[in-house]
Homo-oligomer: A and B are copies of this chain.
């Protein structure tokens, strides 16, 4: 067939479909992201549609459908990368101090209504395989515990008694979340150790 001939002729079977991330694509990505964030804050995660996002972003709906395929997929991606996984983390040499700074940052992050709304939306799709918008947070927890010389506590304990209460309150009891929450949970966590 034609493909065989072509394969024989070509030096390399063109197995490098170069992605385009810069320029216009980046602009579309950015404006779609902020459109989603605005709309989700304004109307709640359940009442946002793709055409609405497209209009707000000044972008054609087809661009969104072709890039993400799905509204849940799009929202989930935004929820996952809202808190930059590449950002600098506390590195004081003291586990408790590091976790304190880290927990405070998370509380502060999710105190913003936009981020709380995104988390709730992300929760809806969290069941399916690897679409978990909090996996970066757990990787960070693991990092802190793993590099400590004398951990005292386990990763599971950090998840259960620090991350979980914060996330639970963000989703279900947002009004009870304040700056003291992180410190209180840290105190509880290390009281046991």
The answer to whether B165 touches A160 (Cβ under 8 A) is: yes
Alpha-carbon gap, A46 to B50, bound state (A): 14
Hey, which chain B residues are within 8 Å of A134, CB to CB? 172
Hey, which chain B residues are within 8 Å of A191, CB to CB? 192
Residue of B nearest to A128 (CB): B44
Residue of B nearest to A160 (CB): B165
Interface residues on A, range: 35 or more
The answer to whether B172 touches A165 (Cβ under 8 A) is: no
Residue of B nearest to A168 (CB): B164
From DSSP, what is the main secondary structure of chain A's interface residues?
Answer: helix
Q: Does A111 contact B (CB under 8 A)?
A: no
CB distance from A168 to the nearest CB of B (A): 4
Hey, which chain B residues are within 8 Å of A159, CB to CB? 165, 168, 173
The answer to whether A120 touches B117 (Cβ under 8 A) is: no
The answer to whether A120 touches B116 (Cβ under 8 A) is: no
Interface hub of A120, A125, A164, A173 (most chain B Cβ within 10 A): A164
9 inter-chain pairs at a CB distance below 8 angstroms, sorted by A residue, are: A45-B124, A120-B123, A120-B124, A127-B171, A160-B168, A164-B164, A164-B165, A188-B192, A192-B192
Given contacts A132-B172, A161-B165, A164-B169, 19 further A-B contacts (CB under 8 A): A44-B125, A44-B127, A44-B128, A120-B123, A120-B127, A121-B124, A127-B171, A134-B172, A157-B188, A159-B165, A159-B168, A161-B161, A161-B188, A163-B168, A164-B165, A164-B168, A165-B165, A167-B168, A191-B192
A residues engaging B (CB < 8 A)?
44-47, 71-72, 116-117, 120-121, 123-128, 132, 134, 157, 159-161, 163-165, 167-169, 171-174, 185, 188, 191-192
